[in-house]
């Protein structure tokens, strides 16, 4: 049984540098289950770097990243890959859909990668198509969609394998204001309904204003930030 709002992710004294350039220094952070956390900071401050460390896409130079008591540092690359495949959903600024797959195929890809096919796959894909208002786009290819539609496909793909954490790096950075609003609303609503933890890096105060908590990276440190 899950503890209500227990700690899901913990960063302990995490540091990361690229050569001489210290991007993050001694970061301590606890993220609760089902929390929606926004990370802000100017361009180059280290938002993407932080998100990659949290998701095990990159490893810190020092310190530990711990998910439900399990340290990512202690895992082999293979174990980390399995952890990402099972437990994480990613949403990127530029959608990153597979151009040769239809909307429906793009969405259920993570299930296929986890070796799952059949009725359950079809059911979950259809449910997300409806939830993200993509029913009538199911058989199109990504280049036949608007930016907002492509990002909604990417959100469905990030959720289809029921991950416990979704990481979104400037998910609305490439969309106009009105579309961005709607996309973010759908992303946060879908995560809230599933009690999926959501971390969003953003430049947008409006995006951050929907979060439970806002943090800002400044001079390689994390500070509490107002949206
Ligand atoms: N693989 C890498 N090799 C060398 N330097 C890197 C690498 N990745 C990031 N950096 C540097 O680390 C710093 C932080 O980058 P990061 O991408 O985390 O910033 P960001 O806050 O996400 O910026 P933006 O808002 O522009 O996306 C930048 O100065 C960047 O140039
Ligand atoms: Mg970035």
User: What's 128's domain CATH number?
Assistant: 3.40.50.300
> 64-67: long-range contacts (C-beta < 8 A, 24 or more apart)?
64/10, 64/11, 64/12, 64/13, 64/14, 65/9, 65/10, 65/11, 65/14, 66/9, 66/10, 66/11, 66/12, 67/8, 67/9, 67/165
Kindly tell me if the per-residue pLDDT of 146 is higher than 60. Answer: yes
Does residue 28 form part of some domain?
no
Ligand 1 lining (C-beta closer than 6 Å): 18, 23, 41, 43-49
Kindly tell me if the per-residue pLDDT of 171 is higher than 60. Answer: yes
Does residue 187 form part of some domain?
yes
Does residue 149 form part of some domain?
yes
Closest residue CA from atom 28 of ligand 1: 44
Does residue 123 form part of some domain?
yes
Domain that holds residue 203: 34-56+75-212
Short-list 143, 178, 85, CA closest to 153:
143
Does residue 64 form part of some domain?
no
Does residue 3 form part of some domain?
no
Does residue 117 form part of some domain?
yes
Kindly tell me if the per-residue pLDDT of 148 is higher than 90. Answer: yes
Ion ligand 2, residues whose Cβ is below 5 A away: 47-48
Closest residue CA from atom 3 of ligand 1: 18
Kindly tell me if the per-residue pLDDT of 1 is higher than 50. Answer: no
Cα–ligand 2 centroid distance for 46 (angstroms): 7
Q: What's the number of domains the chain is made of?
A: 1
Query: What average pLDDT is seen over the chain?
Result: 93
Integer Cα distance of 111 and 104 in angstroms: 12
Does residue 152 form part of some domain?
yes
- Ligand at minimal distance from the CA of 168 is 2
How confident is the model over 188-224, as pLDDT tens digits? 999 999 999 999 999 999 899 999 999 999 999 999 9
pTM confidence score: 0.94
Short-list 154, 138, 153, 155, CA closest to 196:
155
Q: What six digits make up the tokens of 188?
A: 């946060």
Percent of the chain with pLDDT over 70: 97
Closest residue CA from atom 2 of ligand 1: 18
């Amino acid at each position: 049984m899950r503890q209500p709002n227990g700690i899901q992710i913990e960063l302990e004294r995490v540091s990361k540098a690229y050569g001489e350039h210290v991007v993050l220094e001694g970061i301590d952070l606890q993220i609760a289950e089902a929390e929606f956390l926004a990370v802000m900071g100017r361009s180059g401050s280290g938002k993407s770097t932080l998100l990659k460390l949290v998701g095990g896409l990159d490893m810190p130079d020092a310190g530990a990243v711990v998910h439900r008591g399990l340290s990512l540092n202690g895992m082999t690359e293979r174990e980390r890959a399995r952890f990402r495949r099972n437990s994480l959903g990613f949403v990127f600024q530029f959608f990153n859909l597979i151009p040769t797959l239809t909307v429906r195929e793009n969405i259920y890809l993570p299930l296929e990668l986890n070796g799952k096919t059949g009725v359950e796959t079809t059911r979950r894909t259809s449910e997300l198509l409806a939830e993200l208002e993509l029913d009538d786009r199911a058989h199109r290819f990504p280049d036949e969609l608007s930016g907002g539609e492509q990002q909604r496909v990417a959100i469905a793909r990030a959720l289809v394998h029921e991950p416990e954490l979704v990481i979104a790096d400037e998910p609305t950075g490439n969309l106009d204001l009105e579309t961005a609003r709607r996309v973010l609303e759908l992303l946060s609503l879908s995560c809230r309904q599933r009690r999926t933890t959501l971390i969003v890096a953003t430049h947008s105060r409006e995006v951050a204003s929907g979060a439970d908590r806002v943090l800002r990276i400044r001079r390689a440190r994390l500070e509490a930030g107002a949206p």
